Amino acid sequence: MVEITYQMALSTLQTAGILVGIIYYITIMRNQSRAREAQFLLQFNQVFQDKEAIRDWHDVLAMRFQDYQDFMENYDSKTNMESYLQRSRIWRMLNTFGHILKRGLVDPKTVYDAISGGFIVRLWDNHGPIIREIRKHENAPLHLEGLEYCAEAMRNVEKNKLR
């Protein structure tokens, strides 16, 4: 028969205490991560709720062009500074968002729901070929790679939602 000693009971309690502490720590870390994600999305959403941002978003999505040359003639900074500033703002915000997604700091499904991920996919489908051409012409192969990542992440979420 096994005899339970004071030392065995104390050791068992210490082990149980350590396990409870680890579980508590993991729970706290998950909750903090979710709170940070929610806070970030709320702050980012405030940027998108600004009248100027909504106008920029609308105008950038409405840009129509046949090819790179047509795009440059109508929307380049040398020919149309206002359009350049609008698209630059939108592209750079989404580029930043893509890098945040890439690092796993926010969940792609939450982003898709919070900022209309379908619009990001459509924006990339329209502007992606232009951005690839800009990369070639500027010899900048990683230019706006975060935007591309963001669009592909949103496309994946969209595919899974449609299943």
Determine the pLDDT at residue 116. 80
Q: Are residues 90 and 55 in the same domain?
A: yes
Same domain, 148 and 73: yes
Q: Domain limits at 30?
A: 1-38
Res 143: pLDDT: 97
Domain tally, the chain? 2
| In-domain check, residue 43 | no
- pLDDT for 1 equals 59
In a domain, 45, yes or no: no
Tokens of 9: 């009971």
Task: State pLDDT tens for residues 123-145.
Answer: 999 999 999 999 999 999 999 99
Q: What is the mean pLDDT of residues 65-93?
A: 94
User: Is residue 60 one of the residues assigned to a domain?
Assistant: yes
pLDDT at 128: 97
pLDDT of residue 2: 62
Q: What is the mean pLDDT of the chain?
A: 88
CA separation for the pair 78, 72 (Å, rounded): 9
**pLDDT computed for residue 105 by the predictor:** 83
Q: Are residues 55 and 34 in the same domain?
A: no
Q: What is 88-148 written as a DSSP string?
A: HHHHHHHHHHHHHHHTTSS-HHHHHHHTTHHHHHHHHHHHHHHHHHHHHHHT-TTTTHHHH
Give the pLDDT confidence of 1-57 residue by residue, as tens digits.
567 777 877 788 888 888 888 888 788 877 777 777 777 777 777 777 788 888 999
Judgement on whether residues 117 and 153 belong to the same structural domain of the protein: yes
